[in-house]
Structure 1
Amino acid sequence: MTTLSPTGFLTIGAAHLEYRMIGPSPEHGPTIVMLHEGLGSAGLWGDFPEKLQAATGAGVFAYSRVGYGHSTPAKLPRPLDYMHVEALDVLPKLLDKIGFRRGMLLGHSDGASIAAIYAGSNEDHRIQGLALIAPHFIVEDVSVASIAEIKTAYETTNLKEKLSRWHKDVDNAFYGWNGAWLDPKFREWDISEYLAYIRVPIAILQGEKDQYGTMRQVEIAQQECYCPVDVTVLAGAGHSPHREAAGETLAVIADFAAAALRADGASAA
C-alpha cells in the first residue's frame, strides 16, 4: 500500500501514473475511484472531484491512464482491446496499490466501459456500486462519425492547443484513442457480455444530446444486467454531463453513493 499525498505519481509496472487524492485516504473510509474519458485526465475532471468529495464525505481518487495527462506515454498504435487491458491488468494493481478497501467506481465514456469490464470480470467485494456517465457497451455509427469529425477538428482547428493544457504529449493522447476507435476492426468491439456478471447497483447518467452514443447503450444495460440499474437522462446535456449539467449530475451521483456506500452497503447490494 502506498501513502497517498494530495497529488503525485504511482508506479504500476513500467508506467508512472499521475493522480489526485481528495479527502480521506482509502484506509480511513470508502473511496470513489474516477476513470476518465478517452481524451480525459486527472486534471480534466476540473473541480468535480472536490465537489463530489464535499457532497459524499468519501475519499475521491482520480488518475490519468497511460498516455494521458502527465502519465507515461502509451505505445502507439494502441491495441484494440486497450480498455480490457486497463480493466483486467492495470486497474486491479492500482486498487491494491492505493490500499482500496471499499467504495465505488465512477467512469466517464471509456472510463465507464473500463469500470463495467472490471466489475463484470472480478467478483471484487470491495466494489459497492458503479456510476457510469455516457458508457459505451457497443460501437454505434454515431460514435464513429463523431470521432472522425473530432479528428478533423484536431488537425484543422485550435483543439490540439486546448487539449495540450491537459496532456504532456497531446498527440499521444489523441491518436492513441482516436486511432483505435477509427480502426475498422473496432466496429466489432462489444463488452455487453460482462454486464450479466455485475453484482452491484449501477447508476447510468446519459446526456440527452450525447454526440458519441445513444439510448441504445442504456437499453443494453437494462436488458443484460441482473443487478439494479438506475438511469438518469439529463436534458440538454451532451457527452459530458458532469460539465454540461454539473449540479444535477453531482446530485444524482451523490444520492447513489449515499445508498451504495453506507456501512452495510456490501451486504445490502
Structure 2
Amino acid sequence: MSEAPRFVEIDWAGRRVRVEHQWIAPERRAAPLIVFLHEGLGSLSMWKDFPQRLCDAAGCRGLVWSRPGYGRSTPRAAEEAWNPDFMHRQAHEVLPALLEALDVDVAATPPWLFGHSDGASITLLYAARFPKQLAGAIVLAPHILVEDLSVNSIEKARNAYLETDLRQRLARHHDDPDSAFWGWNDIWLAPGFRDWTIEPELASIVCPLLAVQGLDDEYGTLEQIRGIARRAPQTELLELPACGHSPHRDQPEGLIAASTDFIRRHHYNHGD
C-alpha cells in the first residue's frame, strides 16, 4: 500500500526547501527500492497510479517525489532563473540530499531509478556521477541533447500555457503552476541551452540500463535513446509503437511488463 504524501526538508541552493514525497509498499523492507523522477512539468501526483502498479508487479518498494519548484514542494523563487546545468544540479545535489534525508543507504542497498523526460536525464547524470550508488536505471524519453523537434514542441507548450486552460490543469498538481512551467520553459527555450548535451557523461554509466521511447514522441527522436546505447553498450532499448512522449501513460501495460522483467533479471542475477 502507498502511504500518504509527506514532506522532508533539505538544504539546497542556500536555503531550506521542503520536498513532497510518498512511499509505496514500505512494508516490503527487503525488496528493491525504485525512486521515480518526474518530467519537466510533472509532480508526484501526475504519475497517478503508475508507480503503485509497477511496484506491485515487480514486488518492489517505491519512492515518488516532487522536485523543488514542482507539486507541493517549495516553489521556485520568482526571481530565480534556471541555468543550463539545472539537471546536473538536480542529479548531483538535490537527489543525493533527498536520499540522505530519508535515510536511504545507497552504499548498502543501492536503489533503482525510474525517470521520465527531464527526470530521465537527471537519472542518467546520477548514474554517471555515482556509479556504485544505484542498482540500475530505467529512463523514459530521456534527453541527451537538444533537438529542433524538442524546441518546437516546447514553443507550442508556451503558447498553450498562455492561450488555453493548460495553466488551470497544471494548477491541480502544482501549488505554483507558474513556478513549474516557466522554470522549465524559459531554460529550454533559452538560446544558450541549444548546445546543452550530456553525451560525454554517458560512457561513465556502468549499471544496467533500459532506455524507452515512443515512436511518436513529439519531444525527441530515437537518436536520444540510440545515442545512449552507443556510449553505454549495456543499454537495452525499448521502442514502443503507438506511443508519444509519455510511455507510462500511452503504453502502461507493455512498459510495466518490460520494466518488471528488466528489474527481476538484473536484481536476481546479481544475487541480491
Report the TM range for the smaller structure's normalisation.
Answer: over 0.9
Partner of 1:186: 193
TM superposition outliers: structure 1 runs of 4+ over 6 Å: none
Q: Is 1:260 equivalent to 2:266 in the alignment?
A: yes
> C-alpha separation between the residues in 1 aligned to 2:229 and 2:179?
35
Encode CA deviations 1:219-262: one digit per residue, 9 max, x unaligned. Answer: 21121114x11111110110001001111111111111112222
> C-alpha separation between the residues in 2 aligned to 1:122 and 1:241?
26
Quick check: 1:259–1:265 contact (8 Å CA) kept in 2?
no
Partner of 1:237: 243
Q: Is 1:49 equivalent to 2:57 in the alignment?
A: no
Quick check: 1:35–1:108 contact (8 Å CA) kept in 2?
yes
Q: Which runs of 5+ in 1 are unaligned?
A: none
Q: Is 1:87 equivalent to 2:91 in the alignment?
A: yes
> C-alpha separation between the residues in 2 aligned to 1:112 and 1:25?
27
The Cα of 1:25 is off from its aligned counterpart by 6.1
Paired residue type of 1:254: T
The Cα of 1:80 is off from its aligned counterpart by 1.9
The Cα of 1:265 is off from its aligned counterpart by 5.3
CA RMSD of aligned residues (A): 1.6
Match among 185, 199, 210 for residue 217 of structure 2: 210
Within 5 Å, which residues of 2 pair with 1:44-83? 44-75=46-77, 76-83=80-87
TM-score calculated relative to the size of structure 2: 0.92
Quick check: 1:128–1:265 contact (8 Å CA) kept in 2?
no
The Cα of 1:64 is off from its aligned counterpart by 0.1
Match among 100, 108, 129 for residue 116 of structure 2: 108
> C-alpha separation between the residues in 2 aligned to 1:34 and 1:105?
6
Q: Which runs of 5+ in 2 are unaligned?
A: none
**Percent identity of the aligned residues?**
40
Cα distance 1:156–1:259, how it changes in 2: closer, same or farther (>3 A)?
same
Q: Is 1:117 equivalent to 2:121 in the alignment?
A: no
Partner of 1:29: 31
Encode CA deviations 1:137-194: one digit per residue, 9 max, x unaligned. Answer: 0000000000001100010001111111100000010000000100000001100111
Encode CA deviations 1:77-113: one digit per residue, 9 max, x unaligned. Answer: 1122110110011111212222323221000000000
> C-alpha separation between the residues in 2 aligned to 1:18 and 1:265?
33
Encode CA deviations 1:116-140: one digit per residue, 9 max, x unaligned. Answer: 001101132x411110000000000
3-state SS in 2 of match to 1:204:
strand
> C-alpha separation between the residues in 2 aligned to 1:55 and 1:262?
15
Number of residue pairs the alignment of both structures matches: 261
> C-alpha separation between the residues in 1 aligned to 2:271 and 2:8?
29
3-state SS in 2 of match to 1:173:
helix
> C-alpha separation between the residues in 1 aligned to 2:3 and 2:10?
17
Quick check: 1:29–1:102 contact (8 Å CA) kept in 2?
no
Q: Is 1:152 equivalent to 2:159 in the alignment?
A: yes
3-state SS in 2 of match to 1:44:
helix
> C-alpha separation between the residues in 2 aligned to 1:41 and 1:257?
24
Quick check: 2:5–2:21 contact (8 Å CA) kept in 1?
yes
Q: Is 1:247 equivalent to 2:253 in the alignment?
A: yes
TM-score calculated relative to the size of structure 1: 0.93
3-state SS in 1 of match to 2:268:
coil
